[in-house]
Structure 1
């Protein structure tokens, strides 16, 4: 069993993965925590690939942008991404999303 430092919560929202060469790929966020997320996307990333992750919150015009993230794993269940660095204002918005999701469900 995997022991997690940060609980993750299921969700379904659009996102965008941006590679260092600025190529943009659509993604669908499956679950999220304060330290990372799991997405589904047609790209075939490699472990260690550096990305920028954009999460489009429902009912919110401005997305959450994590400018420094890395691919930790890939497989049939999607792409596991770790957030390496998040600005204070984006972390506050991500924390708000987690707070909205947490009362509705237990963590994984």
Structure 2
């Protein structure tokens, strides 16, 4: 299922968390949380983060994801030495070379690192 610009606008209106635009060099890799029996949905890939919030992100990638399938994400943020790992996230929508992800589960330490980065971004925008 892909979305038009109008549909994406409605999704943006329903967001719970403010999304922040990211500087160049914000990267993401993803892999399935668990392997499927036949391997058909075991899509792994990489992408560029376009925006980020406490609850999710928008990604540009040449690799297409499966909607509603859980993925583990590794997010590499500029100026942060350690990547942030999201234990479980699902793709809620996808378009041509973009998709939106909702975070489902993160370890507390990883969530703190993500929040620290978001505070840094917000303080530099203001």
TM range (shorter): 0.7 to 0.9
RMSD: 1.9
Distance change >3 Å, CA 72–CA 57, structure 1 → 2: same
Higher strand share: 1
Deviations 1:22-55 (A, max 9, x none): 7531111100000000001111112102111111
- Is contact 2:47-2:61 (8 Å) kept? yes
* SS of alignment partner, residue 74 of structure 2: strand
- Is contact 2:30-2:73 (8 Å) kept? yes
For 1:80, the equivalent position in structure 2 comes to: 100
- Is contact 1:16-1:54 (8 Å) kept? yes
Point out where structure 2 has 5 or more consecutive residues left out of the alignment: 1-9, 36-41
Distance change >3 Å, CA 77–CA 27, structure 1 → 2: closer
* SS of alignment partner, residue 83 of structure 1: strand
Query: Are positions 1:28 and 2:28 aligned together?
Result: no
- Is contact 1:29-1:37 (8 Å) kept? yes
Query: Are positions 1:65 and 2:85 aligned together?
Result: yes
* SS of alignment partner, residue 103 of structure 1: helix
Q: Matches of 1:23 and 1:77 in 2, distance apart?
A: 14
Structure 1 runs of 4+ aligned residues shifted over 3 Å read 20-24
Q: Matches of 2:97 and 2:61 in 1, distance apart?
A: 11
State the TM-score, normalizing by the size of structure 1: 0.86
Query: Are positions 1:98 and 2:109 aligned together?
Result: no
State the TM-score, normalizing by the size of structure 2: 0.75
Point out where structure 1 has 5 or more consecutive residues left out of the alignment: none
